[in-house]
Amino acid sequence: MAERIKIAETPVEIAACFPVMQELRPHLDAQAFEKQIGRLRDLHGYRLAFLEDGDVVCVAGLRIGEWLHQGRYLEIEDFVSKNGARSKGYGGRLFDWIAEYGRSRQCNHIRLVSALSRDSAHRFYERKGMQRFACYFTMDL
Residue 136 lies in a domain: no
- Residue 139's pLDDT band (boundaries 50, 70, 90)? low
Q: How far apart are CA 109 and CA 67, in angstroms?
A: 11
The CATH number covering residue 42 comes to 3.40.630.30
Give 24-44 pLDDT, tens digit per residue. 999 999 989 999 999 999 999
Give 50-87 pLDDT, tens digit per residue. 999 999 999 999 999 998 988 999 999 899 999 887 88
Higher pLDDT, 134 or 46: 46
Structural domain harbouring 60: 4-127
pLDDT at 55: 94
Residue 133 lies in a domain: no
The β-bridge relationship of strands 55-67 and 4-7 is: unpaired
Residue 137 lies in a domain: no
Count the domains in the chain.
Answer: 1
Residue 40 lies in a domain: yes
Tell me the pTM.
0.85
